[in-house]
C-alpha cells in the first residue's frame, strides 16, 4: 500500500526548520498542498520572522509542489483562524493539521519563573488547542480530518528540568484522547507522535555523536502513517533513529480495599497488588476506571451479604 496525499491540504506548524520542515517536505513530496507555518522565533520563543516559513514553502514549490508560508503565532487564536482561512481560500479545505510548534525554557522547578511555565504551556498546549479548534468545524463539515499532536517522552515519562514542557506534552495526550472520541463519527482521527530527533530544540542537550544518529528524517515515517487516510486513532507512536514504538496509558486490575478507617493501612500493605501490571488494560475511555471500581465493589458487597 502506497501512502499518498494527492488532493489533501495540510497545515504544519513550526515548520520553518527541524522536524516540522521535514514533515512539510514529506507531505508535499507525496502530493499534499502544504501551508508552512512558523513564527520564526528563537528556541525560547523570542523574536519572529516569516522568512523561515517562506524558505520552506519556496523549497516545496521549487520541487514542483504547492505551498504557502504563514508566520502566525499559535498562541494567537485570531491569527490562527486567519491562517486556516488562508488555506481554505487557496485550496478549499484543510485535511491535515500537524501541531508541531514549540519552544523550550528549561530550568529546574525550584528555579523556574511562573512566566516561563505559562509560556511553554501557551505555545505547546494552547497552541495545539487553537489550531485544532480552528480546523475542527471544517473537518466536521467535510467528514474527514487528521490531527497530529507532538508529544514527548518528557511528557510521557518525565525529564529533569522540564516540568513546564512535560506538563504541556502530557496535556496534549489528554487532548488527543478526547478529540479522537469526539471526532470519530465524522472520521476525524487524532494521534500523538513522540519524536527523538536532532533539531534546534535538542542542540546542547545531547552529545554530537548521538545527535548525528537522530536525524529528523527518521521520524517522518511515523508522521505519515498517523495522518494517512488509513491512519489509526488515539495512537501514541514514539520514533527515533529509525526505531518505532507505541506508548500506552494503562489501567491495572487493582484490588478492592474498602473505605473504612483502616483502608489506608490495607492499601499500603497491598500496594504491590494494586500496582501489579498483570492483566492491565488500555481503557476505551475514562469510564473504564469507574466501571472497574464499581464492578469490584459490587462483587465484594455480594460476597459480604
The sign of the dihedral angle between the CA atoms of 135, 99, 77, 28 is: negative
Distance in Å from the first CA to the final CA of the chain: 58
Q: How many CB atoms lie within 10 A of CB 259?
A: 9
Catalytic, 165? Answer: yes
In this structure, what DSSP letter does residue 227 have? Answer: T
CB 173 within 8 A of CB 237: no
Helix (H) / strand (E) containing 153: helix 153-157
Per-residue HEC secondary structure of 4-71 comes to CCCCCEEEECCCCCHHHHHHHHHHHHCCCEEEEECCCCCCCCCCCCCHHHHHHHHHHHHCCCCEEEEC
Q: List the catalytic residue out of 135, 139, 165, 219.
A: 165
Report the alpha-carbon distance of residue 268 to residue 83 in Å, rounded: 53
What is the set of active-site residues? 165
Amino acid at each position: 500500500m502506497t501512502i499518498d496525499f494527492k488532493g489533501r491540504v495540510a497545515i504544519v506548524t513550526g515548520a520553518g526548520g527541524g522536524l516540522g520542515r521535514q514533515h512539510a517536505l514529506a507531505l508535499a513530496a507525496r502530493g499534499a498542498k502544504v501551508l508552512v507555518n512558523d513564527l520564526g522565533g528563537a528556541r525560547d520563543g523570542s523574536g519572529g520572522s516569516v522568512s523561515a516559513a517562506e524558505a520552506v514553502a519556496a523549497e516545496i514549490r521549487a520541487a514542483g509542489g504547492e505551498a504557502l508560508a504563514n508566520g502566525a503565532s499559535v498562541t494567537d487564536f485570531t491569527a490562527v483562524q486567519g491562517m486556516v482561512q488562508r488555506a481554505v481560500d487557496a485550496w478549499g479545505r484543510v485535511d491535515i493539521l500537524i501541531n508541531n510548534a514549540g519552544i523550550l525554557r528549561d530550568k529546574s522547578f525550584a528555579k523556574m519563573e511562573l512566566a516561563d511555565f505559562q509560556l511553554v504551556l501557551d505555545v505547546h498546549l494552547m497552541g495545539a488547542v487553537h489550531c485544532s479548534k480552528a480546523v475542527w468545524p471544517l473537518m466536521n463539515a467535510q467528514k474527514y480530518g487528521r490531527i497530529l499532536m507532538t508529544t514527548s517522552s518528557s511528557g510521557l515519562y518525565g525529564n529533569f528540568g522540564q516540568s513546564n514542557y512535560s506538563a504541556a506534552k502530557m496535556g496534549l495526550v489528554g487532548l488527543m484522547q478526547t478529540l479522537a472520541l469526539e471526532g470519530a463519527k465524522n472520521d476525524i482521527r487524532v494521534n500523538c507522535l513522540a519524536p527523538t530527533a536532532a533539531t534546534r530544540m535538542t542542540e546542547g542537550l545531547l552529545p554530537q555523536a548521538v545527535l548525528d544518529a537522530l536525524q529528523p528524517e527518521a521520524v517522518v515515517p511515523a508522521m505519515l502513517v498517523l495522518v494517512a487516510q488509513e491512519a489509526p486513532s488515539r495512537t501514541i507512536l514514539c520514533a527515533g533513529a529509525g526505531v518505532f514504538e507505541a506508548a500506552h496509558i494503562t489501567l491495572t486490575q487493582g484490588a478492592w480495599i474498602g473505605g473504612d478507617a483502616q483502608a489506608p493501612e490495607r492499601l499500603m500493605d497491598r500496594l504491590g497488588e494494586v500496582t501489579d501490571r498483570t492483566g492491565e488494560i488500555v481503557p476505551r475511555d475514562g469510564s473504564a476506571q469507574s466501571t472497574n471500581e464499581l464492578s469490584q465493589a459490587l462483587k465484594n458487597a455480594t460476597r459480604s451479604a
